[in-house]
A and B are shown apart, each in its own frame.
Chain A
Amino acid sequence: MISLVRRPQPSRVWAWATPILAVLLTVIAGSLMFAALGKDPVAAIRTIFYDPLFDPQFAGYSRPQLLVKAGPLILIATGLALGFKAGVWNIGAEGQYIMGAIAGAAAGLALYPIEATFIFPLMVIAGALGGWIWAMIPAILKTRFNTNEILVSLLLVYVAENLLASVAVGALRNPEGGGFPGSRNLAQWASSANAELIADTGLHWGVVAAIIAVIFAYVLLHRHLTGVHIRLAGQAPRAARFAGVNPNRLVVFCFAISGALAGLAGIFEVTGPAGQISIDFNVGYGFTAIIVAFLGRLHPVGILLAGLLMALTYIGGELASFMLGIPAAAIQAFQGMLLFFLLAVDVLTHYSIRLGSKRLA
Chain B
Amino acid sequence: MLRRTLLGAAATTLALSTGAFAQDEPTKVGFVYVGPVGDGGWTYEHEQGRLAVEEAFGDQVETVFQESVPEGADAERVMTQMALSGADLIFTTSFGYMDPTINVAQKFPDVKFEHATGYKTADNVANYSARFYEGRMVQGHIAGKMTETNKIGYIASFPIPEVIRGINASFLAAKAVNPDVEFNVVWAFTWFDPAKESDAARALIEQGADVILQHTDSTAPQAAAADAGDVITFGQASDMSEYAPMPRVSSIIDNWGPYYVERVGQVMEGTWEPHSIWYGIDEGMVKIGEISDAVPEEVKAEALAMRDAIAAGELHPFTGPINRQDGTEWLAEGETADDGTLLGMDFYVEGLTGDIPN
Binding site for B on A (CB under 8 A): 57-58, 61-62, 65, 68-69, 162, 165-166, 169-170, 178-182, 185, 269, 273-276, 278-281, 283-284, 315, 318-319, 321-323, 325, 327-329
Contact = CB atoms under 8 A, between A and B. Distances in A.
Given A283-B72, A322-B66, A327-B67, A315 B343 contact: no
B73 interface: yes
B73 A273 contact: yes
B295 to A, nearest CB: 34
Interface string B59-81: 00000111110111110111011
A76 B269 CA distance: 50
B72 A274 contact: yes
A275 B99 contact: yes
Contact of B160 (A61, A166, A181, A329): A181
Contact residues on B (Cβ < 8 Å of other chain), bracket: 35 or more
B357 A169 contact: yes
Contacts of A269: 73
Contact of B71 (A273, A278, A322): A278
Contacts of B68: 328
A273 B76 CA distance: 9
Nearest to B87: A322
Given A61-B80, A61-B84, A65-B77, A169 B99 contact: no
Contacts of B36: 328-329
B19 interface: no
Given A68-B73, A170-B358, A280 B96 contact: yes
Given A179-B346, A269-B73, A279-B189, A169 B30 contact: no
A315 B118 CA distance: 26
A178 B71 CA distance: 19
Contacts of A327: 67
Contacts of A182: 96
Contacts of B358: 169-170
Contact of A165 (B70, B74, B81, B158): B158
B72 A281 contact: yes
A281 B71 CA distance: 7
B25 to A, nearest CB: 15
Nearest to A182: B96
Q: Which of B30, B81, B82 has the most CB of A within 10 A?
A: B81
Given A165-B158, A279-B189, A185 B99 contact: yes
Contact of B70 (A65, A162, A181, A283): A283
B179 interface: no
B161 A178 contact: yes
B345 interface: yes
Given A278-B72, A280-B72, A322-B65, 20 more contacts: A57-B85, A68-B73, A165-B158, A169-B159, A178-B343, A178-B344, A179-B161, A179-B344, A180-B95, A273-B72, A275-B73, A278-B96, A279-B71, A279-B96, A280-B70, A280-B71, A283-B73, A283-B74, A322-B66, A327-B67
Contacts of A283: 70, 72-74
B357 A170 contact: yes
A162 B96 CA distance: 17
Contacts of A180: 95, 118-119, 160-161
A55 to B, nearest CB: 10
B343 A169 contact: no
Nearest to A321: B66
B279 to A, nearest CB: 19
A69 B300 CA distance: 53
A145 B118 CA distance: 48
A329 B160 CA distance: 30
A52 to B, nearest CB: 9
A276 B99 contact: yes
Contacts of A328: 36, 66-68
A274 B357 CA distance: 25
A58 B84 contact: yes
A169 B345 CA distance: 13
B109 to A, nearest CB: 16
Nearest to A162: B189
Contacts of A170: 357-358
Contacts of B158: 165, 169, 181, 279
A318 to B, nearest CB: 6
Contacts of B78: 318, 322
A7 to B, nearest CB: 42
A178 B82 contact: no
A79 B223 CA distance: 43
Contacts of B30: 322
A322 B82 contact: yes
Contacts of A185: 99
